[in-house]
Amino acid sequence: MILVTGGGGKTGLAVIRALHDAGVSVRALVHRAASTGRAQSAGADQAVVGELGNQADLQRALRSVDAVYAISPNMVPDELGLLTGLIEAAGREGVGRFVYHSVLHPQAEAMPHHGQKLRVEERLFESGLDFTILQPTAYMQNLKGYWDEVVGQGVYRVPYPIETRLSLVDLEDVAEVAALVLTQDGHVGATYELNGPDALTQSQVAQTLGQALGRGVEAQELPLHEWLARPETQAMGAYQRQTLAAMFRYYAAYGLVGNPNVLAWLLDRKPTELRDVLSRDFVSRM
Ligand SMILES: NC(=O)c1ccc[n+]([C@@H]2O[C@H](COP(=O)([O-])OP(=O)(O)OC[C@H]3O[C@@H](n4cnc5c(N)ncnc54)[C@H](OP(=O)(O)O)[C@@H]3O)[C@@H](O)[C@H]2O)c1
């Protein structure tokens, strides 16, 4: 039995599906009871409703599991504290394997959610657990947040310069690797960067979106102050808003570029291209 935390979220559901397809029993830790059905539909055999910060919930979730796939909540102020609690609880419960879903370049501490993951990785080094760390870049599936504007207005508007180069990865490739490192021998102590085939500029992303739709899509920079003033940005919690703004500033200054070789080696094939994700997950569902 493998415990997947964040089991009702975007990443968790993909990992549960991949583990289920690999024939592995899964217990999902979900935060809200309303997420239970989603986790079960994805293939979780069991779902535990609980709070990562609550030791009694962790003890219930970890009971008799062979391994943990640890997914942090997205952009929360105490990610380090929550994950440290999970690592310590896994040690107490005698869990054999711990795989941490980190992020590409956790050393980039100007982005708080990266910096917290760097420190979680450090806790793992010190824990004595048999760990593996996966460092995926941003998912191609995040483009769903832009899709309505792309389809409706033919514009791909991002809060950083359109020349910004970002490595993206197919979340399904990441989930396949998650299942693989949990079911194959030989991955204890490893840290793997997971990047898709190309680090595209945002103009190239717009071009690929246009090719998928069969019409022109123009990339435009949305000034950061305009993004900050949007009602949907204002509606976010302060930590999430500040963290996203820090991430956009970092992207504008440096981009986020990794290398696809490790992912190709793990999958034993070429990582999935953006155009294939767009036709599989976006255009076919219009
Ligand atoms: N999105 C990307 O491109 C990307 C790339 C690399 C790494 N990551 C990392 O992947 C992780 C997950 O991202 P995601 O996009 O899958 O986020 P997500 O869809 O928001 O999922 C996170 C899950 O965490 C659960 N959660 C929130 N607070 C919790 C708490 N206190 N205790 C227990 N569970 C809690 C939520 O449960 P409920 O749904 O029940 O509220 C949610 O389902 C993040 O750490 C992110 O930094 C993301």
Q: How far apart are CA 117 and CA 240, in angstroms?
A: 15
Closest C-alpha to 68, from 89, 97, 103:
97
Measured by CA distance, the residue closest to atom 18 of ligand 1 is 9
Per residue in 203-240, pLDDT tens?
999 999 999 999 999 999 999 999 999 999 999 999 99
Beta carbons within 8 Å of 249's beta carbon, 6+ residues apart: 110, 160, 224
Instruction: State what percent of residues in the chain have pLDDT above 90.
Output: 98
Alpha carbon of 180 to ligand 1 centroid (Å): 21
Q: Which of 16, 31, 68, 104 has most ligand 1 atoms within 8 Å of CB, for mutation?
A: 31
Neighbours of 219 (CB within 10 A): 21
pLDDT class of 284 with cuts at 50, 70, 90? confident
Per residue in 81-122, pLDDT tens?
999 999 999 999 999 899 999 999 999 999 999 999 999 999
CB environment 143-169: b (16+ within 10 A), e (fewer): beebbeebeeeebbbbbbebebbbbbb
Mean pLDDT for the stretch of residues 186-210: 98
Alpha carbon of 74 to ligand 1 centroid (Å): 4
What is the 3-state secondary structure of 221-265? Answer: ECCHHHHHHCHHHHCCCHHHHHHHHHHHHHHHHHCECCCCHHHHH
Residue ranges in the chain assigned as alpha helix (H): 10-21, 36-42, 55-62, 79-92, 112-127, 144-153, 171-183, 202-213, 224-229, 231-234, 238-254, 261-267, 274-277
